Amino acid sequence: MIKRIIYSVVIFFVYCSFDCQVYAQPNKTEKKMITLPAEMVVDKIRGGVLGMMIGNMNGGPYEFKYYDKHGDLASYVPSLPNGARTDDDTDFEWVYIYNIQKTRNVYLPYCDINAFWKNSINRSIWCSNRYARYLMDIGIQAPMTGSIALNPWAEFNVSGQFVSESFGLIAPAMPQTAAKIGLHYTKVTIDNEPAQTTQLYTTMISTAFAENDINKILDAGVASLDPESTIVLVIADVRKWHSQNKDDPAETHRLLHEKYELNDALVRNQNGSVLNTAAIIAAFLYGNGNFSETIRHSMNFGYDADCNCATLGTLMGAIYGHRRIMNEGWQLMDRYKNTTRDNMPMDETITSFADRIVDVFEMINLETGGSKTIVNNTVVYNFQSEKPKSAYKLLTLDEEKIRLSKDVGKTIVANLLSGNKQEMARSAYLAVALDLTLDLKKKYPEQWKEACYSLSGYWKVISVVFNNDRFKWLVQIREKFIAAGFVILSTYPKEEILYNDSETWKDPKKLYSNGLK
């Protein structure tokens, strides 16, 4: 009992120290530090990963189940009777964390990221992630694969959210570091507003290591956003509606859907960062610090519920910690079964995944000037104090196109004139996306024709360009390709063919029944 009281006093002192220091901007001559017990940090990392798995697996049956109507789930008990399995809401981060740990490099070079994707991320991928993966087949390098000028999903997709949570866990109480690392990886597939959600959630999760008050955690998240971000308005609205309807989450759901739904854009609404962020923040507020209630509310708010429940599970798991979750009496098996990711471990557990994050965190903490020491017979981590701050600003499509044109314009021409098949295909794709088609076609007609032929053979790329979805940005890029003479495949490939056929280029004469323009 005495030992428990002493430990509680240490925790209380550290929490108070964090409140005083973590938001204080260090001056040039003195770097302020915060201190947390190592046992508590590890417990929270493990709790965050376990919470992410619970949310992902339990939220799965509610994915897109509720949209414009609030759900009616009245009670919920978290459980993982068979453990967890790989899913895009958790396993992209697993691939990254595994390779960070293996290479001892927190910021994996983007050329290596392309290689890791080709090695491990080839199936069970959708939307922006699938588009980015097939852009890699023509040699487009991350993070260009997540540019709003090249990937039409990147402007709104929730990947900025569901690939970010582990990066909040690897930088406890270091929100700026968490956001910067998170952005390095999420920008492989997204940009703009979705990138703002990366900053939001990594900051909130990082802050949860030394702050349990949900409103203070949310305040830290808001402080990480570009002030011009729509997400700032979304959070302010949800907070207002929650305060006005504290006993009526269905009314808050109605209000947020009414204001932020885009007409005739079902995919963008279901899979977009705006409505899903609104749903997450609402569930976080209505859950009021209770793990199972927060997940239940997330299920009822709907939209991309397995993603949202995974994000909230990570956040609540970091607040609760692993021990507290295990003491709830829920049926939780420690398994993380690999069903989707090639050339990755087949014997992973939830705990072993979490311990990889602990190892990476210790590496980051040393690199950022932190340490691991013993104070009063207690092992503690010392961290550099950080204030939540935006690390990434919004940009317009025109600004991005101008930037990319300057970066790759000369390479486009060089590859068009003397490149191999892949390089010529890449030049054709970039030229079409960046509105350079007419000029290049006029100056180099024969080379342009050959480049278009080369690109037409990359059937997976053509399949995502001519995807049946009708949201604005995809329609715009599809129309550019049609204007450039590209046509739809004679047979649109099924998912299992896209995933299992490793042949990235095929003879266009066999792909198009009507030939090529």
d(CA 168, CA 220): 13
The predicted structure's pLDDT at residue 486: 96
Q: List the chain pLDDT tens, one digit each, 517 residues.
A: 433 333 333 343 333 333 333 333 334 444 689 999 999 999 999 999 999 999 999 999 999 999 999 999 999 999 999 999 999 999 999 999 999 999 999 999 999 999 999 999 999 999 999 999 999 999 999 999 999 999 999 999 999 999 999 999 999 999 999 999 999 999 999 999 999 999 999 999 999 999 999 999 999 999 999 999 999 999 999 999 999 999 999 999 999 999 999 886 788 899 999 999 999 999 999 999 999 999 999 999 999 999 999 999 999 999 999 999 999 999 999 999 999 999 999 999 999 999 999 999 999 999 999 999 999 999 999 999 899 999 999 999 999 999 999 999 999 999 999 999 999 999 999 999 999 999 999 999 999 999 999 999 999 999 999 988 889 999 999 999 999 999 999 999 999 999 999 999 999 999 997 655 4
Can you give the pLDDT at residue 468? 86
Nearest-angstrom CA–CA distance, 368 and 174: 10
Query: Does CATH place domain 2-384 in 3.90.440.10?
Result: no
Using CA atoms, how far apart are residues 203 and 384, in angstroms rounded to an integer? 15
CA distance 158 to 271: 6
- Cα 494 to Cα 18, 22, 467, 500: the distances in Å are 52, 51, 11, 10
Virtual CA dihedral for 324, 329, 330, 332, nearest 10 degrees? 80
As a whole number of angstroms, the distance between CA 125 and CA 276 comes to 19
pLDDT for res 513: 78
Lookup: tokens for 254 = 């109605």
- The residues facing 378 across adjacent strands are 375
| 391 vs 203: CA distance, rounded Å | 11
| Count of beta carbons in the 10 Å neighbourhood of residue 494 | 9
Rounded CA-CA distance 262/3 in Å is: 56
Cα separation, 136 vs 9, whole angstroms: 53
Q: Which residue has the tokens 């981060």?
A: 93
Burial 20-38 (b: 16+ CB within 10 A, else e): ebbbeeeeeeeeebbbbbb
* DSSP assignment string, 418-452: H--HHHHHHHHHHHHHTT-HHHHHHH-HHHHHHHH
Comparing CA positions, the residue from 11, 57, 109 lying closest to residue 324 is 11
Q: How many helices (H) and strands (E) does the chain have?
A: 26, 5
pTM for the model stands at: 0.93
Residue 254: closest CA among 114, 69, 430:
69
Pull the structure tokens for residue 88: 């895009």
pLDDT of residue 263: 81
Closest to 376 (Cα-Cα) out of 15, 18, 35: 35
Alpha-carbon gap, residue 199 to 227, rounded angstroms: 12
The CA distance from 161 to 312, in Å, is 11
For the chain, what are the domain ranges? 2-384, 398-511
For strands 336-337 and 84-85, give the pairing. parallel
Q: Measuring CA to CA, which residue among 355, 308, 372 is closest to residue 35?
A: 372
504-509 contacts, C-beta under 8 A, 24 or more apart: 504/137, 504/458, 504/460, 505/137, 505/421, 505/422, 505/425, 505/457, 505/458, 505/459, 506/457, 506/459, 507/457, 508/453, 508/456, 508/457
Sheet-wide strand order for 33-37: 33-37, 378-384, 371-375
Q: What is the pLDDT of residue 159?
A: 98
- Report which residue type is found at 455: L
d(CA 402, CA 412): 14
pLDDT score at 22: 32
Q: What are residue 422's phi and psi, to 5 degrees? A: -65, -45
CB of 190 closer than 8 Å to CB of 222: no
Q: Structure tokens of 451?
A: 């480049």
Sign of the dihedral defined by the CA atoms of residues 494, 262, 188, 236, in that order:
negative
